[in-house]
Structure 1
Amino acid sequence: MGVMTAAHRRRFARLAATAGLLVTVVALLLVPAGPASAHAVLSSSSPAASTVVPAAPAEVVLTFSETVRKVPDRIRVIAPDGSRADQGEPTFAGSVVNIPVDTGRGNGTYLVTYRVISADSHPVSGAFTYSVGAPSEPPVDSGDDGRANPVVGTAVKVAKFVGYAGLLLVIGPALVLALLWPRRLSRRGPARLAWTGLGLVALATVATVLLQVPYTNGGGLFDVTGEGLSLVLGSAFGAAHLVRLGLLAAVALLLRPLLAGPVGRTDLVILGVLAVGALVTWPLSGHPAASPAPAVSVLVDTVHLGGMAVWLGGLVMLAVFLLRRADERELGAILPIWSRWAALAVSALLLAGTVQALIEVATPAALVNTAYGRLVLAKIGLFVLVIAVAAYSRHLVRTRVAASRPAPVRRAIWAELTITAIVLGVSATLVQTTPARSVATDVAAADSGYFNTTATSSLYSMQIEVSPARRGNNSVHLYAYTLDNQPLPVVEWQVTVALPAAGIEAIQVPLLPLTDNHATGEISLPAAGDWELRVTARTTEIDQATVTATVPVR
């Protein structure tokens, strides 16, 4: 076998990197698509929280704002005597979770605890009570307190920070070595920095996947089980991180010749495509992929992340290497080009960050009323400060001070890096925080009205819920049960609402069946008053009955 030449090694690296990219694209195409959602919150329940129902329900129904996934044995119904009242496994249908309940546990207060996973990979947990017949002392769920382990939560944020830091440490050296590095200078130092950055990204990716297991289950730092890891790797979150690892391996093959010396345009193009593919895996495993406009959010978050990596990575290269090693002539050529790059990267950061904030925050009030909004404000304040320092650096470049006296610009760059390190920490916390738009729909946080009643006919018992029972848009949920309180399949639903006192005739409510005995619909109620709601449910080809309820709307 002959010795492989440098040209052969480069050709092999290109082919291997291209193959890695193709495998990644195929993997992305094979990942099952799911409905868009983000940081789901409990929007309603049946029975409703803190209500008293006349008879024990055969099931508890949880309706979340978005699609959720199961966490094994983390949904429980505790009877008044402290025993488990839930029977069998709960069923998941999009945003609706049905929990079978033993109806023979007697009267008193029941506790419902839940822990599920939203589409953006974050666990959602909570608890509420309802009472049968009359309230009693609430029971305690000794199996799970529903709270995330604080050590695990902190470790996840640290892993996110390390990943961001590694990203800028690999992109900065690669970009500067490819386009700005003087030929006379050694590449050894930047190459070590780039390999360190690539290693940090890979380490953070693996750590994030492993930490997702206890983060999901609510366990301790080392509570990583085979079943839990399998569930994580089988999710969109796990797929995005596996794709990232594959792309990092492909990047490493092309990065080696670049760090050793100048490479051709083809290698740079392939390397750029691989880098963009790896960047996309960050938004695909977080809030952006589950936003109301996922395509826009993923795009702007990728631009935001790329702009950050180019800007900060380039600053590191300037501060650590170029301002120390390059001579005045070289700096005079390099700094104006870098200044234009930095301006473009900062503009991309501002534009992408603004669009993403508008999507995730939703309302001006949420900027100050939610933790997510306050973190966004903190990030904006720090960003304004770092922009001011960057403007000073740009002034030095334009006046040619930096080339002849690099010390002032070096101090300005270190100031930029110090502030932006704090920004990265805020960003690592931000991606683990419930978006403000989701907090606004949380029934535990919202001060909204609620109507709940049970109407009985000769065929069935119908539980009727209207939320928020106020003027404007309202959600209607209907649950059909047999007269002995078992779920009753409904063949056809028909619902109308009317306000005779205001001369408003019957309005048809469009319904969407969620399960055999549960349907939901949205209706706009334009005026306050006592609305008449009529429900007709057909249970067989010939059996149907109509019930009515008066809904007070404020």
Structure 2
Amino acid sequence: MLLYTKRVMSKSTLIVVFFALLLMAVATNQVSAHATLESTTPAQNSVVSHPQQIELHYNEPVNTKYSSITIFDDKGKSLGEFKPTNSGTNQTLTFDVGQLDNGTHKVSWHTTSADGHEIQDEFEFSINKKTTSNIDVTPPFYETSNFWFGLFRFITEGSLIVLMGSFLVNSVAKRYQLPTYLAFFSYKPISWILSAMAFITAIIYIMTLSPELVSNIMALDMTALLQAPFLLAMIAIIVLLLLFTLNEMMTIWYIAISLIIIVTLSMSGHVWAQSFPLWSIILRSIHLLGMALWLGGMVYLVWLATTKQLQDIVKVKRFFFKLNLGAVIALVISGVLMAIDETSLAAIWSSVTTWSSLFYVKIIGTILMITLGGYQSFRALTNLQKVNKKVLYCEIIIGIMLVLAGIIMSQIQIPS
């Protein structure tokens, strides 16, 4: 049996190493770019006379193959979809739109940035005269694939963070000779469920991409695949979760899989938009590890309290103090460095955007978690000799909200 286990571990290790190297190779081959629309011709809300072309000017070159615009009249009726006249990668996209009628028009555009994110927005202009102030062509949120992608991504990634954190915390607790629920907790069915969730999330993600990009991905075009790092990350996570279900492996095997899953999750956001993706991956991995340990610790503490396993208060307090301290240090330092890496503190402070607002929410949430964690360690466990369940549940809720905020931030425009 030992020989079989070593043989399986050897083969499985090669698979894990292969996927790790594959993802790192993607990191080193990505171009640093996160496209933002700087200006348009005609300009936003301008009144012009019969333009024959529409131009979009970005701060970085974008792929014309995966770009298009749709024009609507002042009644919200679509006048058709238009592709750029130029090819390759260009910083300016030009669209021949022919003769448009007088009145206000809305232009809905989308393109794919180098970090694989589909970016889109809209603007209005008028020909000869303005006939309306706002053309609403936005469908209900529940009809958009982006909404469902965000929802499933939150559930999948949040569950993975909690699951991996729980396993790591239990592994550390075992070394402290504290009670663990590994013997009562079956990871295999949960891993299968999360594999299915990751697969569904990947499918919904594909639905958010342009038809041209999807077609090239299905044809296994490497250039197109590199435009969709989130898809590669989900494929890797599915494989890693399946490897996580292998029986009778050494403990270090499952710990390694947990850590690699966290690293893989770090590759599904804005890291490819940075000048040094590998550095960004390291920062985000540390950040996610800190969050995983914190949430895993909360789940462990809930289990201790509900099963009345909380007997050696001194040992539990010492364990959680070290665990929370390490998680806080990882979260705070990596969070600050991530903000500096992705943008600048001046840009965050000077611009009021959804991203910057969520950044402040994460700061406030982290401070609240630290405060509640301190109360739990120094008040409840020390003086009252018990776990304050209300405080504990508040910590878990705040942690989940921070995960949600982080996922939303990874899908939207970063202030620059």
Match of 1:41 in 2: 36
CA deviations over 1:67-115 (Å, ceiling 9, x no partner): 434676842467999865957865241433233455xx48867764422
Q: Does 1:243 align with 2:268?
A: no
> 227, 245, 257: which one pairs with 1:252?
245
Match of 1:64 in 2: 58
> 203, 216, 225: which one pairs with 1:210?
203
Residues 96 and 275 (structure 1 numbering): CA distance in 2 closer, same or farther, change over 3 Å? farther
> SS of the residue aligned with 1:23?
helix
> SS of the residue aligned with 2:324?
helix
Q: Which amino acid aligns with 2:183?
A: R
Residues 248 and 177 (structure 1 numbering): CA distance in 2 closer, same or farther, change over 3 Å? same
Match of 2:364 in 1: 381
> 408, 423, 444: which one pairs with 2:387?
408
CA deviations over 1:92-145 (Å, ceiling 9, x no partner): 41433233455xx488677644222232524313244475xx56869x99xx94
Q: Does 1:434 align with 2:413?
A: yes
User: Structure 1 CA distance, aligned partners of 2:112 and 2:42?
Assistant: 22
User: Structure 2 CA distance, aligned partners of 1:21 and 1:244?
Assistant: 10
Q: Does 1:418 align with 2:412?
A: no
Match of 1:473 in 2: none
Q: Which amino acid aligns with 1:10?
A: T
1:271 Cα deviation (Å)? 3.8
Q: Is the 8 A contact 1:172 1:317 kept in 2?
A: no
Match of 1:523 in 2: none
> SS of the residue aligned with 1:45?
strand
User: Structure 2 CA distance, aligned partners of 1:228 and 1:145?
Assistant: 29
Structure 1, unaligned runs of 5 or more: 219-224, 438-554
Residues 248 and 90 (structure 1 numbering): CA distance in 2 closer, same or farther, change over 3 Å? farther
Residues 409 and 336 (structure 1 numbering): CA distance in 2 closer, same or farther, change over 3 Å? farther
| Correspondences of 1:450-465 after superposition (within 5 Å) | none
User: Structure 2 CA distance, aligned partners of 1:55 and 1:184?
Assistant: 75
Higher strand proportion (structure 1 or 2)? 1
Q: Does 1:393 align with 2:376?
A: yes
User: Structure 2 CA distance, aligned partners of 1:397 and 1:87?
Assistant: 63
Match of 1:303 in 2: 286
Residues 293 and 248 (structure 1 numbering): CA distance in 2 closer, same or farther, change over 3 Å? same
What TM-score, normalized to structure 2?
A: 0.78
Match of 1:461 in 2: none
User: Structure 1 CA distance, aligned partners of 2:40 and 2:111?
Assistant: 15
Residues 236 and 408 (structure 1 numbering): CA distance in 2 closer, same or farther, change over 3 Å? closer
Count residues with an aligned counterpart.
Answer: 400
Residues 298 and 130 (structure 1 numbering): CA distance in 2 closer, same or farther, change over 3 Å? farther
How large is the Cα RMSD of the aligned pairs? 4.1
Q: Is the 8 A contact 1:169 1:196 kept in 2?
A: no
1:211 Cα deviation (Å)? 1.6
Q: Which amino acid aligns with 2:161?
A: L
Higher helix proportion (structure 1 or 2)? 2
Residues 286 and 19 (structure 1 numbering): CA distance in 2 closer, same or farther, change over 3 Å? same
User: Structure 2 CA distance, aligned partners of 1:209 and 1:382?
Assistant: 29
What TM-score, normalized to structure 1?
A: 0.61
1:378 Cα deviation (Å)? 1.9
Q: Which amino acid aligns with 1:434?
A: Q
> SS of the residue aligned with 1:65?
strand
> SS of the residue aligned with 1:216?
coil
> 309, 321, 335: which one pairs with 1:339?
321
- Taking only the aligned residue pairs, the percentage that are identical comes to 17
1:390 Cα deviation (Å)? 0.5
Match of 1:352 in 2: 334
Look at both structures and tell me which one has the larger radius of gyration over its CA atoms.
Answer: 1
User: Structure 2 CA distance, aligned partners of 1:390 and 1:319?
Assistant: 13
1:314 Cα deviation (Å)? 2.0
CA deviations over 1:258-280 (Å, ceiling 9, x no partner): 6xxxx4xxx51x44443333223
> 6, 14, 20: which one pairs with 1:25?
20
Residues 56 and 174 (structure 1 numbering): CA distance in 2 closer, same or farther, change over 3 Å? closer
> 8, 22, 35: which one pairs with 2:3?
8
User: Structure 2 CA distance, aligned partners of 1:200 and 1:421?
Assistant: 19
Residues 85 and 419 (structure 1 numbering): CA distance in 2 closer, same or farther, change over 3 Å? closer
Match of 1:284 in 2: 267
Q: Is the 8 A contact 1:163 1:204 kept in 2?
A: yes
Q: Which amino acid aligns with 1:352?
A: S
1:14 Cα deviation (Å)? 1.3
Q: Which amino acid aligns with 1:117?
A: T
Q: Which amino acid aligns with 1:319?
A: V
Q: Is the 8 A contact 1:41 1:65 kept in 2?
A: yes
Q: Is the 8 A contact 1:319 1:413 kept in 2?
A: yes
Q: Is the 8 A contact 2:32 2:273 kept in 1?
A: yes
> 100, 110, 122: which one pairs with 1:126?
122
